[in-house]
Homo-oligomer: A and B are copies of this chain.
Amino acid sequence: MVHAGKLSPETLKKIIFSNLGVTDPRVIIGPQVGEDAAVIDFGDRFLITHADPITGAIENIGWLSVNIIANDIATRGARPRWLLVVMLLPQSIKLSQIKQIMEQINEAATSLDMAIVGGHTEITLDIDRPILIMTAFGETNGKMVINTNGAKVGDAIIVTKGIAIEGTAILSTEMADSLKGKVDKETIRKAQRFVRMISVVKDAMTATEVGGVHAMHDATEGGIATGLQEVAAASKVGIRVNEKNIPIFEETKKICNALEIDPLKTISSGMLIIAADAKKANEIVEALKKAGVQGKIVGEVVKKDEGAYILRKDGSKLDLSKPLEEELWKCLKFK
């Protein structure tokens, strides 16, 4: 769930992005800093694909790995359909644990209507926890794809479910001891189940079907603040969002309060950020509701020179033009 360390944008540019093989005009979207999926022209449609590694506790790794990679395909407006699963397992692992991981993968894939088409499983020397590398594939309906960079001035900004969903799940699990006495057991129990909400596939598919969507992005590390920042930067626009409109679950509020963490900057897989034609915004929120997903209009896209910020409840502005730090690291170390 947590990357021990990405390379700096400068290093990526100098070492990685200058060594990408041949240039192929069929590659509509290729490698970019960030986590976006590639888009390849396949005649009457686009192939959307992305690969990502994940390490972490066996408890959730299978479930998370499928849902997180599926999110990357769905935010392109394409239904994720197929998976390649590479599992590197430590020698210490038990067969029952491999089974547990595979059952989670199966459950997640089935819930998303995805098929595993291949992969590779091995016991790898010198690793002490499982590493899963997932490749997901989807295809667009015709030659239409949604990017992070498509937001237009005047667009409404819609978000789904609530902020810091993934953070709530992680904190309630990893910080359970520190939370004792500060937050009631029932809240913690419920919060631990937030991991079941980290898919944005239904959210993205529903919004795409309505139409009028100009940009989509899932709010992962750095939370909604970083997510909005990335949309603004990629689309070269400003953003004005009002904190009082932003949905937050009661469990998230209690846990973030207790740990003095800002949920606006806490990892938020499960929340989809949508920039859509303002005239379509209500229709999208309605369609989401029908699909059982809470959607809310939280702000609007403005001109770049009007700035990008979240207006806080106390009247201050959270500036989205400056680097933001993920809040989780205030209490957790890299795992």
Is A137 part of the binding interface, using a Cβ–Cβ cutoff of 8 Å? Answer: yes
Is A284 part of the binding interface, using a Cβ–Cβ cutoff of 8 Å? Answer: no
- Return chain B residues, CB-CB under 8 Å to A52: 86, 120
Is A38 part of the binding interface, using a Cβ–Cβ cutoff of 8 Å? Answer: yes
The closest CB in chain B to the CB of A106 belongs to: B19
From B40, B81, B121, B128, A24 is in contact (CB under 8 Å) with B81
CA distance A248 to B32 in the complex (A): 45
Cβ distance A323 to chain B, nearest Cβ, rounded Å: 19
- Return chain B residues, CB-CB under 8 Å to A4: 122-125
User: Which residues of chain A from 75 to 120 have a CB within 8 Å of any chain B CB?
Assistant: 81-84, 86, 88, 95, 98-99, 102-103, 105-106, 109-110, 112-120
Binds B, one of A5-13, A224-232, A253-261, A306-314: A5-13
From B7, B40, B106, A137 is in contact (CB under 8 Å) with B40
Is A334 part of the binding interface, using a Cβ–Cβ cutoff of 8 Å? Answer: yes
Is A317 part of the binding interface, using a Cβ–Cβ cutoff of 8 Å? Answer: no
Q: Per-residue CB proximity of A259-299 to B under 8 Å, as 1/0?
A: 00000000000000000000000000000000000000000
Cβ distance A121 to chain B, nearest Cβ, rounded Å: 5
User: Which residues of chain A from 128 to 146 have a CB within 8 Å of any chain B CB?
Assistant: 128-129, 131, 133, 135, 137, 139
CB pair B82 A24 closer than 8 Å: yes
CB pair A117 B38 closer than 8 Å: yes
CB pair B84 A38 closer than 8 Å: yes
Q: How many copies of the polypeptide does the oligomer hold?
A: 2
Is the interface on chain A under 10, 10 to 19, 20 to 34, or 35 or more residues? 35 or more
Binds B, one of A43-51, A181-189, A234-242: A43-51
Q: Per-residue CB proximity of A15-41 to B under 8 Å, as 1/0?
A: 110111111101100111001111010
- Return chain B residues, CB-CB under 8 Å to A106: 18-21
CB pair B122 A7 closer than 8 Å: yes
CA distance A53 to B109 in the complex (A): 22
Is A3 part of the binding interface, using a Cβ–Cβ cutoff of 8 Å? Answer: yes
- Return chain B residues, CB-CB under 8 Å to A305: none
CA distance A135 to B26 in the complex (A): 18
CB pair B6 A42 closer than 8 Å: no
CB pair A21 B118 closer than 8 Å: no
- Return chain B residues, CB-CB under 8 Å to A53: 86, 88, 120, 122, 124, 133
Cβ distance A97 to chain B, nearest Cβ, rounded Å: 10
CB pair A7 B123 closer than 8 Å: yes
CA distance A156 to B122 in the complex (A): 35
Contacts A4-B123, A40-B82, A49-B84 aside, 6 further interface pairs with beta carbons under 8 A come to A15-B98, A21-B105, A21-B114, A21-B115, A27-B82, A32-B118
Please, could you name 20 A-B residue pairs with CB atoms under 8 Å apart, sorted by A?
A: A4-B124, A6-B121, A7-B98, A21-B112, A21-B116, A26-B81, A27-B82, A30-B116, A38-B82, A38-B118, A42-B42, A42-B43, A42-B139, A49-B84, A49-B117, A51-B51, A51-B120, A53-B88, A53-B120, A55-B124
